[in-house]
Copies of this chain bind each other. A is one copy, B any other.
């Protein structure tokens, strides 16, 4: 067999595998979207039910605000990508509910963490996350409906969030205690970078204004690479040093991987190849290799950078979202670099994920597995799991797989180069 033929056969095989995954992912996205469309809409009182059992039955009618915002944003997301045409096109369901009830004591911007079915606040967190998902939802609603009221809500809330993070956190209600170290959780700049990217995507003027904020977020996230580049730590001091004790040693591989693809998009947008390589090395490969369970497969939820036992009871459990984030991160890494090692890891994570998290019977994924892969909680939605990570992962992977296939298709049988590196997503330049 000639070398040319072998190369051609290899490429054919690779295309076949990619195509098979694209089809698998597309079918799964349809099933997942159908699950949430069928079970989560509260037709009487607005908003979304988020506490759904294995078969979609509502086991609690509380409405968690992170998930109200995320589902609202996620349903819109599926309209940007190809999904809108295939799936049932959702109305602006959920947006008015959020607008009306999320804020606990307007005009103050603090949002509830959870609401009763009819919108009365039950609990408020002393963090920025409800507000971030609110902003995300409002911005997405504006993009879909064109209603300026939504965008002005998004921008006002964004200003408030930035002010809490960069100027004065006292409005969040957490007391400043003399023994609490001034620390930064990676979740905060990570979440902000994600918002900046989303808000800038649809608004060029805003993209310019928020460039400084994006740079600030990226720099803050990068400070979490510690120990001479050997570990991503979830919490560091305000000036980027390792903190003492469990807080300082705490690692969250899923967060590192999620931050990884946020940073990767940021590097692509800036055309910064050096940063891109650094991000793949430190935020994709490092947490994957240290966070993957060598015995049972899957990513640990938490780890201790010194290899000590974490104090969180769930540290060795396998959660759905680190796996969906890893799928996005490695497929994005491969799309940009053509490095086959990244594609192999995508396949490894996707195989594990589809084998253990998917529920072939009722649709949507299980969220919580024991270390050995057995289902620990049968719920499909709960206080922290809703219509967000799974459809976002599947929609983004479908889009990336489509792009990869369309780039591979016209390749000459004899030019055995990998798919072209560089910005590949539409509008990513």
Binding site for B on A (CB under 8 A): 51, 53-54, 59-62, 104, 112, 114-116, 119-124, 175, 177-180, 244-246, 308-311, 313-317, 368, 370-371, 376-379, 382-383
Contact = CB atoms under 8 A, between A and B. Distances in A.
Contacts of A309: 53-54, 59, 377-379
B316 A245 contact: no
Top 6 A-B pairs, shortest CB-CB distance: A120-B179, A60-B245, A122-B179, A116-B179, A313-B314, A311-B382
Contact of A180 (B123, B371, B378): B123
Contacts of A119: 179
Contacts of A104: 177
Nearest to A177: B121
Nearest to A375: B309
Nearest to A246: B60
Contacts of A315: 377
B313 A120 contact: no
Given A61-B244, A123-B177, 11 more contacts: A53-B309, A59-B246, A60-B245, A62-B246, A122-B180, A124-B175, A311-B382, A311-B383, A313-B368, A316-B376, A370-B371
A383 B370 CA distance: 23
A108 B391 CA distance: 50
A308 to B, nearest CB: 5
A62 B313 contact: no
B179 A246 contact: no
Contacts of A60: 245-246
Contacts of A317: 313
A123 B126 CA distance: 13
